Structure 1
Amino acid sequence: MDDGTRTAESLAAWLHDLHFTDLAEDRATARIVDAVVAWGESRGWRVYRRAPSVFPLPPPLKGHSVLDVACARPGGAQPIAVEVDRLDRQRTVDKLLAEAAAGRLAIWVRWGAGPFRPPPLPVHLVTREAARTKGAWHTVADLPAPRHSAVAEPGEAAELPWET
């Protein structure tokens, strides 16, 4: 297994433990970005929010786009470029492909209801399922909620003996 796959699997495991309820789309995205930052910091990496990207802004804007999260790793390890999106955006794919071409490990964190179309290699995909109820987003549990009480089933009436 290569470093990119191991790193993406590590982030996926971290995000699996992320839970939220009743968040607007922008707050859910921010919560996921916060989790990505915490993941990088937990590994002792230098982590940057809204880091400069090599990808140019679309006309008529000038300059370069930004990444949601970038991580600098010690020991000559490949830097990491992370984008977090709910929607399947071609611009995000193009940005991450440009980051990969510049020598960075490119990870696309997609969240929402899916399906999540895999991006072209070498971009790695990490997903976090979420659902929307009444306009607010919540993470999807892997297991159904536990049954809190048993349903009483009607039984046959019986007379109990009296003790004196």
Structure 2
Amino acid sequence: MRDRNVGIDVAGSAYFTAPVTFNFGGRELTAAQATTEELERAADAYRREVGIYSNRSLGALAVCGVAVMLCVPITEALLLWFGLDSTAPGYREERRWIFLTLAPSALVMTLVIVGDWWRLQRAVLRVLRREQAVVLAQLGIRKRLEANQSADNK
């Protein structure tokens, strides 16, 4: 017999569902204690939240991509702005290397910060999807039971 506190998600992996409580209109309930209307509202809210966090994680990846693409052009622009072009009079190789080492350092710092933010967004998204699966599973069970009861009453 299967433990009723273990759910199976769409990918087939098991997760523990017992301690999950939700705030339904100011009341802390498990998904099994909520009404069908509350479950439908919660499912809609989770759909919106999952969309928001999916977009945020994609935004973090876009920031990383833009930082990588702009690293060299910005460095070259700074070098030209400071007059460190190799054809300019007074060119000093060591000054050019200062900027060439600062740009990759700034890029690495940007990637680390945005990468941590991306990992945080993905972790929140995993939790939201897990909770969403619990709500949707309970909503599906509730609707099947209601359909069976209405079929029995006919």
Task: Mark yes or no: TM-score above 0.5.
Answer: no
Q: Which has the higher strand share?
A: 1
Q: Which is greater in Rg? A: 2
TM-score, normalised via structure 2 length: 0.27
Normalised by the size of structure 1, how large is the TM-score? 0.26
